[in-house]
Amino acid sequence: MTTKKEIPTVLKILKKKSREFTSTALNDIAEERDPFKILISCILSLRTRDETTARVSKKLYELADNPKDMAKLSEKYIARTIKSVNYYKTKAKRIKAISQRLVLEFNGRVPDDINTLLTFKGVGRKTANIVIVYGFNKHGIPVDTHVHRVSNRLGWVNTKTPEKTEAALRTLLPKLYWMDINDLFVQFGQNICKPINPKCSECPVKKYCKYYKSLKTRPLKVK
């Protein structure tokens, strides 16, 4: 179990370890610091593999990389373009509607506060936080299944849903660390702290982990 004082150490270790991992699709898109592309790529990425998200995002932005141009595309055309992602029809509908609303109500700009972003259909807390952090360089904690799982295994939080994990992490962590958490935990969760069979034996932070300690103290099964 990590003590509050040890959190900076754990993050430092994970940061060093992350240099060994390949970047996620969102990392690459986030580098552009374009809130609109980050928002749309997030929607494309739901229940879709990283490589597919990256490829489809690129294809879509070749046709339209801003709300005004995207709003001009028909829903059918967007759907055809993004056909390789899961739920492409629903996503095409959302992308069209979001782009139209951005043009009509926000002068073609993505709003930079979470509460306004949450009023867009198809935008949940994870996506809103990602746009805030990677699009605007503002404080937020995007929590997906990896962040939720790793935070609970380490014992930083004890929560049942990503929304509750976000709230708990906001209370636990100084703002200084908020923007790093998603990046570090997603890569760590994809490569080491996997949902099934986490690679605990090769984990660089096992001595700070509640789950690992529970494994060691679990009684052996008697046959």
Name the site residues for ligand SF4 (rule: CB under 6 A): 153-154, 192-193, 198-200, 203, 205-206, 209, 211-212
Q: Which of 138, 144, 139, 140 is nearest to 126 (CA)?
A: 144
Q: How far is the CB of 133 from ligand SF4 (least distance, A)?
A: 22
Contacts of 90 (CB under 8 A, 6+ apart): 122
Nearer to ligand SF4, 61 or 211 (CB): 211
Tokens of 72: 């001009």
CB of 217 to ligand SF4, least distance (A): 14
Amino acid at 133: V
**What token pair was written down for 97?**
């509607």
Query: Looking at beta carbons only, is 61 or 156 nearer to ligand SF4?
Result: 156
Q: How far is the CB of 6 from ligand SF4 (least distance, A)?
A: 13
Q: Which is nearer to ligand SF4, 58 or 199 (CB)?
A: 199
What is the rounded CA–CA span in Å between residue 211 and residue 154?
A: 6
Residue showing tokens 């967007």:
78
- Please name the residue ranges forming H helices in the chain: 7-18, 25-30, 35-45, 50-63, 67-72, 75-81, 88-106, 114-117, 125-130, 136, 145-154, 162-172, 175-191, 210-217
Report the nearest approach of ligand SF4 to the CB of residue 215 (Å).
8
Nearest approach, Cβ of residue 178 and ligand SF4 (Å): 20
Nearer to ligand SF4, 148 or 153 (CB): 153
Residue closer to ligand SF4 (CB basis): 88 or 185: 185
